[in-house]
Chains A and B, each alone.
Chain A
């Protein structure tokens, strides 16, 4: 990624956008590679042909279209969503450790889905995204209320601690459900480790529109996030309606997190690590961090999922495990760099 020109100035939009074509190019390459590798290796040429000039009598084309393309699309959408959500949360809470997973939203969404499917016996896929949204929103509000009760109010530290506590609590409840109801839970076990394998792509019909709206909304709101990150009073002085903006941003983050969880289970570290990596190249203005984080998140999850599929053939590792295994040391490295 060192080839990306550092668009370090918020006042030169032309220069700042210059990294976008580079990242788009990398994204296309990662996308094609993701589809090409697997149990049956395909050439990039075959993949392109299958995508542009589909022939259903060619077996390789069918593999590409029916088996691999949906998963690659899923990786792009979920990677971009989680990364963008993490970037927005870091700006709003002025907390470099903010992330949908760390602040309890991911656990809230997962918890709601587990309860709805195992305890309430809900099976229709249509409801999953909405249940996940309710769960993420509920967890976010509880985390915020707990943080506010701490002396000193909802500071980055109190939010992180209360997020960790709520995540741990919800995970514990999920475990209890697991122990009490092994049968239903067996279906959820793989989903709960987070991954893109064997996902129901028809779900995309339901979560696609809200995700698209939230991604666009997030990029449009990004310039305000920088203003908000300078403090409520500075932002209000510059004419930002801080209360309304925070509600809009919460809605964007909840939709992106919940839909990602519905699609791929609770994937950690993407929302935390990717915005930090992006910051090294584009600086601290969210106007640039947010769109770049979306692109980089999509590339990252494509890459991680490619590894998950080919690392120990013929078996497949859960994507969530790989994101954590790569994300954790990457995060430690970032923390070390910042404190040095």
Chain B
């Protein structure tokens, strides 16, 4: 969208030379990642490639053994964690609400970083919670218990909680997992709206390749703790890359209507049909 010079100036979140290890083996090995502001960055890669680890490290949940994450130019792991939470929101994978917690109560927890012992609940908190529920489209069941909702509705509640945090940066770890395809698309539309209409910067770990290609402004492909390719889907979402990164035999087609890239996997025992001939 903007030229590389302006992107450089407004860069708010950046990982430099990140290495993260669990018990001797490195899950991330010297990874650099710059997050373009106001865009959707999507991380994809096979299971165990380190994409979740990278997201958690960028969100200061994991501390790297080497390298650093810069938030507005300062090392995030040395900043006060509550003041970081006022700038950067995180939705971890598969969060579970305490039994019986209502939607409004859940979303209200997003205000935690803005509260202190003396300043408990204000008009601004109330407005942020109502606004977040409105954007996420969950106002109608605000007083229902979260555990009575469907998977898609529940995930919208969690997104609303992160929205109520009112941060410019939002990191989400596989937010669409276990949802129906229609619900996945609705959720991704909601997230895309946040980035493109409300100027939020999103970093999302995704499993679904076609969704990633359809929604990413900036796509990051990872394998074995390294970043293999970064760029727009148009540039890097190719059959050769999918083979290299996922060891997946697939065709990448361009949808003639939308112009977006679509991944069509080819299995060895897929049903064979006669090729479509022009009518």
Q: Quick one: given A94-B98, A229-B98, A239-B83, are A9 and B105 in contact (CB under 8 Å)?
A: yes
1/0 per residue A110-139: CB within 8 Å of B? 000000000000000000000000000000
Q: When each residue 232-243 of chain A gets 1 if its CB lies under 8 Å from chain B and 0 otherwise, what string results?
A: 011011111100
Which residues on the B side are within 8 Å of A10 (C-beta)? 102, 104-105, 108-109
Interface check A41, CB cutoff 8 A = no
The 8 Å CB contact of A8, one of B89, B102, B126, is B102
Q: How many residues of B contact A (CB 8 A)?
A: 41
CA A230 to CA B234, docked complex, whole Å: 38
B211 contacts A by Cβ under 8 Å: no
A237 to B159, CA, bound (A): 13
Docked-complex contact A238 and B112, CB < 8 angstroms: yes
Chain A residues contacting B115 (CB-CB under 8 Å) are 223
Q: Please tell me if A284 contacts chain B, counting CB pairs below 8 Å.
A: yes
Q: Is A239 a contact of B109 with CB atoms below 8 Å?
A: no
Whether A227 and B126, one on each chain, are in contact in the complex, defined by CB atoms closer than 8 angstroms, is: no
Q: Give a binary string over A1-24; 1 marks a CB under 8 Å from any B CB, 0 the rest.
A: 000000011110100000000000
Tell me the bound Cα distance from A64 to B86 in angstroms.
55
Question: Which residue of chain B lies nearest to A11 when distances are taken between CB atoms in the complex?
Answer: B108
**Size range of the interface on A?**
20 to 34
The reply to whether B102 and A283 form a contact with Cβ atoms under 8 Å apart is yes
Question: Does A285 interact with chain B (Cβ within 8 Å)?
Answer: yes
Question: Closest B-chain residue to A279, C-beta based?
Answer: B100
- From B15-23, B117-125, B258-266, the one touching the partner chain is B117-125
CA distance A80 to B129 in the complex (A): 33
The answer to whether A96 has its CB under 8 Å from any CB of chain B is yes
In the complex, are the beta carbons of A11 and B85 less than 8 A apart?
A: no
User: How distant is the Cα of A233 from the Cα of B174 in the complex, in angstroms?
Assistant: 14
User: Quick check: A9 and B112 within 8 Å, CB to CB?
Assistant: no
Q: Is B56 an interface residue (CB 8 A)?
A: yes
Residue interface bits A202-236, CB-to-B below 8 A is 1, else 0:
00000000000000000010011011011101101
Write out the residue numbers on chain B whose beta carbons fall within 8 Å of the beta carbon of A239.
81-86, 112-113
Main secondary structure of the interface of B (DSSP, over half): mixed
Contacts of A96 in B (CB 8 A): 99
Using a CB-CB cutoff of 8 Å, which residues 156-174 of chain B contact chain A? 162, 165
Could you tell me the distance in whole angstroms from the C-beta of B26 to the nearest C-beta in chain A?
21
* B276 close to chain A: CB less than 8 A: no
Q: With the chains together, A265 CA to B177 CA distance in Å?
A: 50
> B187 near A: Cβ within 8 Å?
no
Known interface pairs A9-B102, A231-B92, A231-B96; A238-B85 also in contact (CB < 8 Å): yes
Tell me whether A13 and B117 are in contact (CB under 8 A).
no
Tell yes or no: B138 within 8 A of A by CB.
no
Chain A residue numbers with a CB within 8 Å of B100 are: 279, 283-284
Is B195 an interface residue, CB under 8 A from the partner? Answer: no
Is there a chain A Cβ closer than 8 Å to B110's Cβ?
A: yes
Q: Which residue of A lies closest to B60 (CB)?
A: A236
**Selected contact of A240 from candidates B97, B112, B162, CB within 8 Å:** B112
Contact status B81-A241, CB under 8 Å: yes
A285 touches B143 (CB 8 A): no
- Interface pair A237/B101, CB less than 8 Å apart: no
Q: How far is the CB of A222 from chain B (nearest CB, A)?
A: 11
- Report yes or no: A230 in contact with B98, Cβ–Cβ below 8 A: yes
Flag whether B95 is at the interface (Cβ < 8 A): yes
Within 8 A of B (CB), among A60-80: none
Q: Is B227 an interface residue (CB 8 A)?
A: no
Q: Known contacts A11-B108, A238-B110, A238-B113; is A230 also within 8 Å of B95 by CB?
A: yes
B219 contacts partner chain A, Cβ-Cβ < 8 Å: no
**5 A-B pairs with least C-beta separation:** A239-B85, A237-B90, A239-B82, A233-B92, A284-B100
Q: Jot down 23 A-B pairs with beta carbons below 8 A, ordered by A.
A: A10-B102, A11-B129, A91-B98, A226-B98, A226-B105, A230-B96, A230-B106, A231-B92, A231-B96, A233-B90, A233-B92, A234-B91, A234-B92, A234-B95, A236-B81, A237-B59, A237-B162, A238-B85, A239-B81, A239-B85, A239-B86, A239-B113, A285-B101
